[in-house]
Amino acid sequence: MNVLITGHTGFIGSCLWKTIENKNYITKIFGISTNKWFETLDLIGSQKFDIIYHLAASMSEDLFINPQLTMNILDMYKKWESKSFIHTSSISIDLKVPSFYSLSKKISEDLCSFYVNKYNINACSIRIPSVYGPEMKSKTIIDKFIRASLKDEDIVLYGRGERKQWFGYVKDVATILELAGKQSLRGVFLYPCHHITMKKLAEIIIEILSSKSKIKYVDKNDIIYNKSNYELLPFKEQYGLEGGIKDYARWIEKENNKC
C-alpha cells in the first residue's frame, strides 16, 4: 500500500511516520510539510495513494486555509479511488468559546461528511485531544505538571482544579490513527482518550513519579467544554494515561541528563 501523510514533520505526523514506516503492508510513504502543502499537492497529483492521513493544519486566523486544503486533498482522494481517508480534527471544537482554528476544523469535518454522502467514499474525522509526549515543542499542562514533579516543585491549579481535559499520549495516538487507516470508517469519531480533572491528573503524576510536589490553588476561571455526542473509536490505547506519563517522564529525564 502507498500512504500519504500531510503534516508528516509535525509532532503527531512524525510519530505516525515512525509507527508505520517499517510495517510490511506499507510500500511507500509520502509526506507533505505543513508550510508547503499547496505546492506539493500539485507535484503528487499523478500519484495514487491507498491511505491518506490528513494531519496538516494552519493555526492562523484565516478561517479558510484548513477547509481549502482538506477539500483539495479530498478531490484527489476521490480521483485516486483510495481505500481510507483520515482527517485529524480537534476536541477544541467542543469549547463553548471556539477559536478560528476550531471553527476551521469543524468546517473541514463537514466537508468530509459531505464528500462521504455525495461521492460514497470512505472518509472520517477523528477529534484528537491534547497530545503529549517526546519531541513536543509546545508545552501542555501535562508537560508542566511532569516537569514540576520531577523537580519536586509545586503544581499550580486554577480554581478548585475541577476543570476536565482530554489527553492522549502521542505514541498511542499514532498507533490508533494507523489502525483507523486500515478500516473503512465514515463519519466523525472521538479519540478514546482520558477525560480527567486537573486535580486528579496532578495527583496521579505526583504518585507515579514519587514526587514531593504539593498542589497549590490560585483563583482563575476554568475553561468550559460542551458535551460531545460523537462515537468513540473502537480501539484501545497501548500505553494509557499512566503508562504515557511514565514513558514521557523517562524521556524528559534522559533529555535533562544530556545537558
Confidence of residue 72 (pLDDT cuts 50, 70, 90): confident
Which domain, by its residues, includes 172?
2-258
Determine the average pLDDT of the residues in 223-248: 79
Cβ–Cβ < 8 Å for 67, 101: no
Return phi, psi of residue 184, to 5°.
-105, 70
Confidence of residue 118 (pLDDT cuts 50, 70, 90): very high
State yes or no: pLDDT of 239 exceeds 70. yes
Number of H helices, E strands in the chain: 8, 12
State yes or no: pLDDT of 93 exceeds 60. yes
pLDDT of residue 143: 92
* Grid coordinates given for 202: 496532578
What DSSP string describes 41-100?
HHHHTTS--SEEEE-----SS-TTHHHHHHHHHHHHHHHHT-SEEEEEEEGGGGBSS--H
pLDDT for 179-222, tens place per residue? 999 998 999 998 887 789 999 999 999 999 999 999 999 876 55
pLDDT of residue 46: 67
The count of domains in the chain is 1
Pairwise pLDDT comparison (3 vs 226), residue with the higher score: 3
Cβ–Cβ < 8 Å for 52, 153: no
pLDDT for 170-184, tens place per residue? 999 999 999 999 998
Cα–Cα distance measured from residue 129 to residue 126, given in angstroms and rounded to the nearest whole number: 10
pLDDT for 130-170, tens place per residue? 999 998 887 789 999 999 999 999 999 988 888 888 899 99
Cα–Cα distance measured from residue 136 to residue 195, given in angstroms and rounded to the nearest whole number: 20
pLDDT of residue 123: 95
What is this structure's pTM?
0.87
pLDDT for 108-117, tens place per residue? 999 999 999 9
Share of the chain above pLDDT 70, in %: 88
Reported in sequence order, the residue ranges of 121-232 that DSSP labels E, i.e. its strands, are: 123-128, 130-132, 155-158, 164-169, 187-190, 194-197, 215-218, 231-232
> What's the CATH number where 245 sits?
3.40.50.720
* Grid coordinates given for 113: 461528511
Q: How many CB atoms lie within 10 A of CB 221?
A: 8
Share of the chain above pLDDT 90, in %: 50
Q: What distances in angstroms separate CA 166 from CA 163, 190, 244, 257, one per listed residue?
A: 10, 10, 14, 30
